[in-house]
Amino acid sequence: MHAAALLIFTCIVIAGSVPGARAEVGEYASGIVLHSLAYAGLATLWFLGSTGSTLQRALKAVLAIALMGAFDEGVQHFLPYRSGAVHDWLVDVSAATVAATALAALLARIPAPHALRAAAERAR
């Protein structure tokens, strides 16, 4: 999952570096919507590909997105037709936080496989 997230992130950075591409996409969705959907999706992939407790997986996903978002905004800062913005990075991290929290809450409601086996054994 991490490889897929990195591949998608690379595509995002490359597409965002093409002159005029962001303006064309902006006709269909605002920057906040684009950043939120893209980075929530990346956070989901990172969470699902991580190991550890649910909290550890959520923290890894948010940290990975914070680094990816900072890199993306850093690249944009050096392009004359783009500008890196702290606001965009905050949207990225916020989207990752919401996605990771939702996944952690969802996983907390699903019993672990070993708990299911133990319950089945007790039922016999």
Note the pTM of the prediction, 2 decimals.
Answer: 0.82
**109 against 57, higher pLDDT:** 57
Residue with tokens 């907390």: 108
Q: 26-50 pLDDT, tens per residue? A: 666 677 898 899 999 999 999 999 9
Q: For residues 117 and 124, what is the distance between their CA atoms, to the nearest angstrom?
A: 11
Q: 12-31 pLDDT, tens per residue? A: 999 888 887 666 666 666 77
| 2-16 helix and 31-49 helix, angle to the nearest 10 degrees | 160
Nearest to 46 by CA among 60, 33, 66: 60
Do the Cβ atoms of 96 and 67 come closer than 8 Å? no
Q: Report the residue count for the chain.
A: 124
Nearest to 21 by CA among 34, 40, 4, 2: 34
Nearest to 64 by CA among 92, 36, 86, 85: 92
